[in-house]
């Protein structure tokens, strides 16, 4: 039985296979209702409308059905049931479980108690492998994944999407440029792992100094609560904002990604420039998740 818990569990061949499968689905669609009569259990213990809807959309497009846990406040979790018990029970109702949970490692735990495949839909500040596969797939649509120069911008200390993407890119010998204010850089242990895996990791505190060399710029949000006062948050957010003028002189084929939702990180004037790929990235959630669902249920 195959689970998708962490991108670290996937080697390069498995990632390439999923990307190819998603690409075929995007072009040709899936066979007629390959998951007819299959049920996907969506267990969202914290709200994430986009992730939930895109898994639902993927399942419905494959001819299957979805079953929602409902609000956590009305579920048995509110009565103090453990996640382990919930998973054992729901395993009897669904053919695959997508779990979103506020605690880190919840999906790993779920996979140990489930009799059906578990897909991690994000656990706390931990892993969110389908997001990383979507990111890789979107990059792959524009350029080969090998040896890209990618800039990661934002709160790199706590940003789970950037950690997971950086880790996945070690499989493709990327050159990683970590762009963040002091104190919000990549965690030491992650840098150690990336370098150990043969990746070059270069740190910067401004986007200007590196943007003209990049193939991909991956932008994420700063969280206000990480800053001691509102003024320093606004200063930092403003100095890392992507604007049309910042993009002058970049490589023609630079692509700009963002896991969305964005707040102020990217000026809306950038949306119409050829670099902007974040809405395409969001749309790619469906074929990528279709590929994952087919892998675990077919």
269 binds other proteins (CB under 8 A): no
Based on CB atoms, which residue is closest to other proteins, 53 or 104? 104
For residue 178, which phi and psi values (nearest 5 degrees)? -95, 115
The pattern of x and - marking residues 152 through 191 that bind other proteins according to CB under 8 A reads -------------------------------------x--
Residue 171 labeled ligand binder: no
Instruction: Please check if 8 is assigned to a binding site.
Output: no
125 in contact with other proteins (CB under 8 A): yes
- Nearer Cβ to other proteins (63/105): 105
Per CB under 8 A, the list member of 11, 31, 46, 112 interacting with other proteins is 112
- Beta carbon nearer to other proteins, 26 or 125: 125
H helix or E strand, kind and range, residue 49:
helix 49-61
Query: With binding defined as CB under 8 A, does residue 34 bind other proteins?
Result: no
Residue pair 171/11 in contact by the 8 Å Cβ criterion: yes
- Given a contact cutoff of 8 angstroms between Cβ atoms, the answer to whether 62 and 293 are in contact is yes
Q: Cβ 162 to other proteins, closest distance in Å? A: 14
Query: 226: annotated binding-site residue?
Result: no
Which one of 53-61, 108-116, 248-256, 271-279 is the stretch in contact with other proteins (CB under 8 A)? 108-116
Q: Per-residue contact track with other proteins, 126 to 145, x per CB under 8 A?
A: xx------------------
Residue with tokens 């994000």: 122
CA dihedral 42, 219, 281, 102 (to 10 degrees): 0
Contact region with other proteins (CB under 8 A), list: 17-25, 82-90, 210-218, 225-233: 82-90
Considering only the stretches 17-25, 63-71, 120-128, 286-294, report the one whose residues sit in contact with other proteins under the rule CB under 8 A.
120-128
**Nearest CA to 298 among 9, 6, 113, 31?**
31
Nearer of residues 121 and 126 to other proteins, judged by Cβ: 126
Applying CB under 8 A, among 51, 98, 122, 123 the residue interacting with other proteins is 123
CB of 163 to other proteins, least distance (A): 9
Query: Measuring CA to CA, how many Å separate 66 from each of 8, 100, 123, 157, 289?
Result: 27, 15, 20, 35, 14
> How near is the Cβ of 216 to other proteins at its closest, in Å?
24
Q: Is 66 in the site for other proteins (CB under 8 A)?
A: no
Assess contact for 109 and 83: CB atoms under 8 A: yes
- How far is the C-alpha of 83 from the C-alpha of 42, rounded, in Å? 14
Burial of 225 (0-12, 13-18, 19+ CB in 10 A): exposed
Dihedral, CA of residue 89, residue 55, residue 160 and residue 126, to nearest 10: 10
Query: Which pair of tokens denotes residue 196?
Result: 């150990």
Which chain residues interact with other proteins by CB under 8 A? 6, 82-84, 101-106, 108-109, 112, 123-127, 189
């Amino acid at each position: 039985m195959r689970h998708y818990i962490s991108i670290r569990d996937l080697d390069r061949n498995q990632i390439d296979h999923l990307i190819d499968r998603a690409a075929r689905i995007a072009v040709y669609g899936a066979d007629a209702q390959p998951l007819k009569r299959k049920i996907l259990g969506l267990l969202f213990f914290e709200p994430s409308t986009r992730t939930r809807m895109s898994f639902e959309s993927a399942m419905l497009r494959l001819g299957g059905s979805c079953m929602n846990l409902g609000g956590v406040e009305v579920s048995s979790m509110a009565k103090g049931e453990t996640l382990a018990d919930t998973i054992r029970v729901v395993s009897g109702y669904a053919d695959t479980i997508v779990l979103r949970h506020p605690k880190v490692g919840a999906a790993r735990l779920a996979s140990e108690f489930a009799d059906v495949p578990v897909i991690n839909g994000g656990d706390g500040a931990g892993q969110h492998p389908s997001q990383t596969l979507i990111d890789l797939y979107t990059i792959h649509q524009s350029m080969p994944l090998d040896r890209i120069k990618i800039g990661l911008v934002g709160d790199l200390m706590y940003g789970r999407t950037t950690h997971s993407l950086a880790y996945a890119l070690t499989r493709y010998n990327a050159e990683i440029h970590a762009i963040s204010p002091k104190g919000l850089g990549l965690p030491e242990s992650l840098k150690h792992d990336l370098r150990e895996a043969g990746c070059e990791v270069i740190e910067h505190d401004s986007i200007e100094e590196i943007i003209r060399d990049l193939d991909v710029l991956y932008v994420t949000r700063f969280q206000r609560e990480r800053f001691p006062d509102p003024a320093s948050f606004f200063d930092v957010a403003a100095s890392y904002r992507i604007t049309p003028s910042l993009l002058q002189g970049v490589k023609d084929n630079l692509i700009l990604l963002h896991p969305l939702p964005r707040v102020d990180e990217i000026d809306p004037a950038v949306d119409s420039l050829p670099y902007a790929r974040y809405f395409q990235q969001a749309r790619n959630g469906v074929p990528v998740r279709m590929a994952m669902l087919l892998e675990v249920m077919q």
